[in-house]
């Protein structure tokens, strides 16, 4: 029997309120993701794997001046996908999807190795960084950075509401961070 998670509804409601101007909704998922045909984003509480490390490395490499929690960055990045999807042609979208599907398979194998405490070659890590250099990923990250730079007050207010709800989720579910 799967344990019901407490506090998810509060977090989801706060995020959904933030997403209203973008005509998006969200729900808890296994990872942060954007579903364009559904105008839906999924979010995740635990985000500690090779993908998270690669995402934050790409943000820090491209925009070291912008600092934010990985949860917030990830959420803004997914909104960025929604806001920039029409900047790409169908051909560019297909190429990105195909290339990223290959990289995702590779990342799954690497995450399994890391979970077992095994090492990964630096050349393989560099290969996975290519994911965040894809056009759609760069556009989404650029949108997130621009939003963070131009909406600092609004973002701070959102985070003031969201951060305690996330902390409450961890406490209610006895998760140590």
Q: 38 — phi, psi (to 5°)?
A: -110, -5
Residue pLDDT, tens place only, 89-127: 999 999 998 988 887 777 777 767 766 777 666 556 666
Report pLDDT for 1.
47
**Per-domain boundaries in the chain:** 8-172
Classify the phi-psi angles of 120: left when phi > 0, otherwise alpha if psi is within -120 to 50, otherwise beta: beta
Report pLDDT for 140.
95
Pick the residue with more confidence: 107 or 9?
9
CA distances from 47 to 51, 84, 91, 154 (A): 8, 24, 31, 24
In this structure, what is the dihedral angle of CA atoms 146, 14, 163, 154, given to the nearest 10 degrees?
A: 40
Report pLDDT for 79.
98
Pick the residue with more confidence: 101 or 46?
101
The structure's pTM equals 0.81
């Amino acid at each position: 029997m799967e344990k019901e998670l407490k506090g998810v509804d509060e977090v989801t409601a706060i995020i959904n309120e933030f997403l209203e101007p973008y005509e998006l909704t969200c729900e808890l998922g296994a990872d942060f993701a954007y579903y364009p045909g559904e105008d839906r984003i999924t979010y995740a509480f635990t985000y500690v794997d090779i993908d998270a490390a690669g995402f934050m490395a790409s943000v820090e490499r491209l925009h070291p001046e912008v600092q934010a929690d990985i949860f917030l960055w990830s959420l803004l990045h997914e909104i960025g996908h929604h806001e920039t999807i029409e900047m790409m042609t169908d051909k560019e979208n297909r190429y990105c999807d195909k290339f990223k599907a290959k990289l995702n398979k590779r990342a799954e194998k690497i995450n399994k190795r890391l979970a077992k405490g095994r090492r990964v070659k630096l050349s393989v890590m560099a290969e996975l960084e290519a994911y965040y250099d894809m056009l759609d990923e760069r556009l989404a990250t650029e949108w997130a950075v621009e939003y963070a730079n131009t909406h600092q007050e609004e973002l701070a207010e959102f985070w003031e509401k969201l951060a305690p709800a996330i902390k409450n989720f961890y406490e209610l579910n006895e998760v140590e961070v």
